[in-house]
Structure 1
Amino acid sequence: MEELVYPRERVLGTLTLVLGITVWGLLILGTVGVALVVLLVGFVFYLFAQSALIAHIKGNGIELSQEQFPDLYAQFVYCSNLLKFQEAPKAYILNGDGGFNAFATRFLGTHFVVLFSDVVDAMAAHDDGVKFYIGHELGHIRMKHLTGTMLRWPVLWLPLLGAAYSRARETTCDRHGLACCKTPEGAGRALAALSAGAERWKDMDLKAYLLQSRQTSGFWMSFHELISGYPWVSKRVARVVAPEAKEPSRHGLAYVFAAFLPYAGRLGSGTGLIILIYIVFATIAVSVPQFSTYKVKAHTTAVMHETRPVREAMAAYYKMTEEIPTLEDIGVLDALPDGSHLSVDASNMTLTVDMEEGELLFVPSMDDEGHIFWECNAGEGLFPSQVPSYCP
């Protein structure tokens, strides 16, 4: 069954899993376990949301069985056995209100495959059209696509990577759908119905549609596919009908632009752009104050080193005379080369440096042996984070 797995899925699946687990580990360690609490809260929300979906399926759908739609059930069992399922998942048919789709889901260890009634009706004239959709969704279950998302979640938004992994999964599942069909042409026509619609798929020229996939090599089509979780349908049809054929290459410049747009899953490329804008503004909001703090701290650190001879002279004068010196007493000018003004408090010998950004205070203290030490403090206009953590 390994031939049913698209090669890129193995590589991308391993890469996203390793990166995802690494990021989760860093988040848990970096937040001292807070990320675990967030993860638990997220699971509770997921549990309630998923339970609502399952309740909707069971309450409004019709479960396939030997008594209920036996023809569909027989196709479902056939595909399950062909794909070597030890136990076939639950299968339901549901009114899609015009939606042309099928999906697989999982709740508390039980797998479900749901076929929309529009798909079933549209494929009524197709010998094994429904089998393609059944096999595709069984592919998601067989490949454990429904259970590995949480571990990979921290990195699935990454540009190019998240979308590429999603497209690879869809291609793998198309191969599973193909395995359930009698011919590649039958699988391709069933898949092409996503484009042609419920009736027109019967009359479409499949060969002409395969040639249409060549158009995907242009810049805009390449770009929008690179940020999408699904390959173009024309390309998907080509892959199941003629898997040995060489695929059209993508435009190289499209990779450059797509590399800046986060993957937003089924929310669409517009949401990816919103995420990108948010990341940019969030980065600016964080980095600008951090840069400002770094810039000020670099200045206060320079001032600390420049005033060291002044403080040493003040300490020596005090030990010799037991009097608090003035700047004139130690022969020091009241300004530094950068224009910062120096002043000494006559009551406690605190040296104040009036900088452009604010006041930096050097407060003296004496140990039992009479040695004078200096402590750097933030005065008016400065924050403690902008002051050196040590003060020699």
Structure 2
Amino acid sequence: MNRDMTLKKLIHKDEQRYFVLALIISIIIYVSLLFYIEGLAVLLLLTLVSLFSNGLMLGRIRTNGIRLSTNQFPEVYEKVLELCSTMEIRSIPEIYVVESGGILNAFAAKSFRKNIVILYSDIFDLINTGNSDELSFIIAHELAHIKRRHVAKQLFILPAMWIPSLGNAYLRACEYTSDRISAYYINNSEASMNALTILAIGKSLFNNVNREEYLLQSSNDKGLFNKIAEKSSSHPSLPKRINEIKLYFENDTDYAEPRSKKPILSMAVTVLAACVIAFVGIEFGNDIMMAADSFLSDTSVEEDTAVMAEAVAIGNVEKVKELLNDGVYPDVQDGDGWTPLMWAAQDGNVEMINILIEAGADPNVIDYYEETALIRAIYSNNVEAINSLILSGADPNMADSSGWTPLMYAAANGSIEMVTALLHAGADSELRDANNFTAFLYAKKYGYNEIADLLKK
């Protein structure tokens, strides 16, 4: 079986069925609202509120969470890069770890064009328990949501997503798909089932769980309220998710449950409309899915940005040169305004910095937080990278949105070598930020007296 066919079979059959139905219903609602201005205004308002709430949540995560990088939990970040490469995800998502108060969870999100994965700290703690494959399953599961564009697709079927019986049914199917894809790419069904068991009982006790008994427990509990709870949830029950992996990857049929071949929808539609929707879904399902995927795919410019950023991030010099020779603009910016030069500076990759500078990269381009490649080089604590950027014309006094200059960053980081290099390049030690602090005051505040004495001269 070729690889494309294998991946196609990993997609749960209900995902396509529910998506097609939801898309058709959403189109009907959108068209209807064209003749009802008040309704269209309400839909637009609800959409804007949803986007604002999502942006606010992600903003809090970005400002407080720990972002994985080559300098922050590098072993896990390398695994993320490996998974993205294997799963053919060109644009590396931002990965954040946030305090969870004991909750075991993770989720994927989207900030305009940028994909984000959030790992709760208690699940990320698997790195300390020797369960790296289990953590890989959790990460790959969220990457699978990104690969399938599940979050983006929800925007197109937003009206249908507000119908609980349909919206939740689609989300549950997406979870099954992501479980399969994740287990397939980490190539460890046992670790995959362990990871889901961890979500049920925690990191310490999961090894003591009798999995067979747990699956039987789920099969025997078929009360009315259990069914209602399941149908009203956006996630399938954990025993069912474990069982799906068991059946799919181990070819075991002990706990198979009969599945309905028709989507169950609780909505006020006529029998005729339901038949039409079902017919269109069956006849044109593949075409609609392909069209949606095509519409949601990145533009060529965005693909160039993602490919360039990834090549720089992993230090692939030959690929970067190839892209530059093919005409890729050296200052392409990603969803956060990062240029390839910023990625190279963040990693302290002097060779990459020089290649990009020779290709015409501007060291004074700012990202959406008004930070430059020079500030990124200070984060990497690489004096050679700082000197290369300064020699190429980087402004040592360009401040960010808070008024922080490169000299303030260097002083606050306690690097006398970086402070010395910036002073020799003409950095002004008298500049003040929004709090009226100078680089000298930050050095004193953090106890770097030698740097403070140097700045005082």
Give the TM interval when normalised to the shorter protein.
0.5 to 0.7
In the TM superposition, 1:219-258 aligns within 5 A as 219-243=224-248, 244=251, 245=253, 247-249=256-258
SS for the counterpart of 2:42 is: helix
Q: Report the residue type matching 1:53 in the other structure.
A: M
Give 1:211's match in structure 2, choosing from 212, 216, 240: 216
Question: 1:220-245, CA deviations, whole angstroms, 9 ceiling, x for partnerless residues?
Answer: 43333223222111111111122243
Aligned to 2:284: none
Alpha-carbon distance in 2 for matches of 1:35, 1:65:
45
Alpha-carbon distance in 1 for matches of 2:109, 2:259:
32
Note if contact 2:99-2:121 (Cα within 8 Å) is conserved in structure 1.
yes
In the TM superposition, 1:33-48 aligns within 5 A as 33-48=37-52
Distance 1:240-1:228 versus aligned 2 partners, 3 A rule: same
Note if contact 2:115-2:146 (Cα within 8 Å) is conserved in structure 1.
yes
Q: Does 1:189 align with 2:198?
A: no
Q: Does 1:99 align with 2:97?
A: no
Note if contact 1:178-1:184 (Cα within 8 Å) is conserved in structure 2.
yes
Note if contact 1:217-1:249 (Cα within 8 Å) is conserved in structure 2.
no
Alpha-carbon distance in 2 for matches of 1:180, 1:95:
27
Q: Report the residue type matching 1:238 in the other structure.
A: N
In the TM superposition, 1:146-225 aligns within 5 A as 146-158=151-163, 160-225=165-230
Note if contact 1:6-1:171 (Cα within 8 Å) is conserved in structure 2.
yes
Note if contact 1:216-1:250 (Cα within 8 Å) is conserved in structure 2.
no
Aligned to 1:18: 24
Note if contact 1:66-1:73 (Cα within 8 Å) is conserved in structure 2.
yes
Q: Report the residue type matching 1:81 in the other structure.
A: S
Alpha-carbon distance in 2 for matches of 1:5, 1:166:
13
1:177, CA displacement in angstroms? Answer: 2.2
Q: How many residues align?
A: 254
1:13, CA displacement in angstroms? Answer: 0.7
Distance 1:4-1:88 versus aligned 2 partners, 3 A rule: farther
Aligned to 1:300: none
Alpha-carbon distance in 2 for matches of 1:12, 1:35:
25
Structure of greater Rg: 1
Aligned to 1:78: 82
Alpha-carbon distance in 2 for matches of 1:51, 1:228:
24
Distance 1:220-1:82 versus aligned 2 partners, 3 A rule: same
1:36, CA displacement in angstroms? Answer: 3.8
- State which drifts further: 140-149 or 237-246: 237-246
Aligned to 1:5: 11
Aligned to 1:63: 67
CA RMSD of aligned residues (A): 2.5
Aligned to 2:283: none
Distance 1:195-1:142 versus aligned 2 partners, 3 A rule: same
Question: 1:245-304, CA deviations, whole angstroms, 9 ceiling, x for partnerless residues?
Answer: 3632479xxx7xx9489xxxxxxxxxxxxxxxxxxxxxxxxxxxxxxxxxxxxxxxxxxx
Alpha-carbon distance in 2 for matches of 1:59, 1:158:
34
Question: 1:278-332, CA deviations, whole angstroms, 9 ceiling, x for partnerless residues?
Answer: xxxxxxxxxxxxxxxxxxxxxxxxxxxxxxxxxxxxxxxxxxxxxxxxxxxxxxx
In the TM superposition, 1:322-333 aligns within 5 A as none
Q: Report the residue type matching 2:203 in the other structure.
A: A
Q: Structure 2 regions of 5+ residues with no counterpart?
A: 1-6, 269-457
Question: 1:184-217, CA deviations, whole angstroms, 9 ceiling, x for partnerless residues?
Answer: 1110011111111121113222333233332254
Q: Report the residue type matching 1:97 in the other structure.
A: G
Alpha-carbon distance in 2 for matches of 1:232, 1:43:
29
Note if contact 2:163-2:267 (Cα within 8 Å) is conserved in structure 1.
no
Alpha-carbon distance in 2 for matches of 1:207, 1:10:
30
Aligned to 1:291: none
Note if contact 1:219-1:250 (Cα within 8 Å) is conserved in structure 2.
no
TM-score w.r.t. the length of structure 1 is: 0.59
Question: 1:24-82, CA deviations, whole angstroms, 9 ceiling, x for partnerless residues?
Answer: 111222x1x34443344334333432222222122111111111101111221122122
Q: Report the residue type matching 1:77 in the other structure.
A: L
TM-score w.r.t. the length of structure 2 is: 0.51
Alpha-carbon distance in 1 for matches of 2:163, 2:49:
24
SS for the counterpart of 1:99 is: coil
